């Protein structure tokens, strides 16, 4: 086994890789799970995207991150209060496929259990109409379009996620091991990666180009947000209310984009670099 050289990528992912847990979820008592008195601040919080399902009568979060999907994740309120599990269970029961898709969670992963301490959980917004004109309306329209493009990119690209782990090798010492997953979260072996067709690699490159373009649009949203804020501040009372409604909706879309798009693009970048290294051996 050759020592992998992507140290910078490893450093980026080191704080974000959450390995799948093997313990049966039904055996876990949420009251006994804690964060070992870890100090929690905004820098500790992470964004997780996935779906809600019911397993053995429990609310379970199935992350989009393939390395966390083997058993799913249980949820506990970050502040020790009620996570409103009953509310989410009712939403799932009423849903067509008994699943709530595109859930966004802000929280912290427990270091020793398949549990996420949740600060906030949202289901995706439906497309909403604008109520005003000017910057606030443009901000909302642009945010809606970019959110839909982000979801499409995540669902379309073939290499879904990358798991990166620092391990000890008897000969080489500490090395970086990569695990690539396809869009169905099947692990790809090194041989399968080396045999990837030019068409598959072109698809990856195309996804990277699309992702880069979307990141530029994400940055532009910040400018639109600032313009709408200034416009609202100088508007009359009636217009201020309508503009504020549009800006608030746009901000929710923008938060959903920021929670997912940068991670998607970095997954694609890491995938490409690993594939190129394997194919070059």
Q: Return the pLDDT at 16.
A: 34
Q: Return the pLDDT at 160.
A: 58
Contact 205, 49 (CB under 8 A): no
Q: Return the pLDDT at 5.
A: 28
Closest C-alpha to 162, from 64, 49, 255, 31: 64
Q: Return the pLDDT at 81.
A: 76
Written as six digits, the tokens of 25 are: 């979820």
Q: Return the pLDDT at 220.
A: 94
Q: Return the pLDDT at 93.
A: 92
Distance CA 178, CA 71 (A): 21
Q: What is the pLDDT of residues 159-204, one digit of tens each?
A: 556 777 777 777 777 877 778 887 778 888 888 888 888 888 888 8
Closest C-alpha to 59, from 73, 47, 71: 73
Could you give the angle at which helices 237-280 and 135-156 cross, rounded to 10 degrees?
30
Distances (CA, A) of 128 to 79, 131, 248: 32, 9, 12
H/E segment holding residue 267: helix 237-280
Sheet-wide strand order for 173-182? 159-169, 173-182, 187-188
Contact 119, 226 (CB under 8 A): no
Distance CA 114, CA 50 (A): 15
Helices (H) and strands (E) in the chain, counts: 6, 8
Contact 88, 100 (CB under 8 A): yes
Buried b (16+ CB within 10 A) or exposed e, 61-78: bbbbbbbbbebbbbbbbb
Q: Return the pLDDT at 29.
A: 84
Q: What is the pLDDT of residues 34-71, one digit of tens each?
A: 776 556 666 678 888 889 999 888 899 998 887 777 77
Taking 50 as the pLDDT cut, the residues of the chain under it are 1-22
């Amino acid at each position: 086994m050759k020592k992998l050289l992507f140290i910078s990528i490893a450093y980026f992912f080191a704080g974000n890789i959450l390995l799948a847990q093997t313990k049966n979820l039904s055996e876990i008592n949420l009251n006994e799970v804690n964060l070992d008195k870890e100090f929690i601040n905004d820098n500790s919080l992470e964004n997780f995207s996935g779906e809600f399902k019911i397993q053995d009568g429990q609310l379970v979060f199935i992350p989009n991150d393939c390395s966390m999907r083997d058993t799913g994740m249980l949820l506990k309120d970050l502040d020790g209060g009620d996570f409103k599990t009953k509310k989410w269970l009712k939403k799932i029961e009423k849903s067509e496929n008994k699943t709530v898709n595109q859930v966004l969670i802000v929280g912290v992963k427990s270091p020793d259990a398949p549990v996420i301490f949740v600060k906030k959980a949202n289901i995706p917004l439906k497309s909403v109409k604008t109520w005003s004109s000017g910057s606030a309306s443009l901000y909302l329209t642009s945010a809606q379009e970019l959110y839909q493009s982000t979801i499409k990119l995540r669902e379309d690209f073939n290499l879904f996620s990358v798991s990166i782990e620092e391990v000890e090798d008897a000969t080489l010492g500490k090395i970086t091991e990569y695990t690539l997953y396809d869009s169905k979260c099947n692990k790809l072996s090194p041989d399968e990666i080396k045999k990837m067709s030019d068409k598959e690699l072109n698809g990856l490159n195309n996804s990277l180009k699309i992702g880069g373009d979307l990141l530029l649009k994400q940055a532009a949203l910040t400018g639109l947000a600032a313009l709408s804020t200034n416009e609202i501040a100088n508007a009359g009372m009636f217009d201020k209310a309508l503009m504020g409604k549009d800006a608030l909706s746009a901000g929710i879309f923008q938060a959903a984009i920021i929670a997912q798009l940068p991670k998607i693009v970095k997954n694609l970048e890491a995938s490409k670099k690993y594939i190129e290294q394997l194919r070059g051996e």
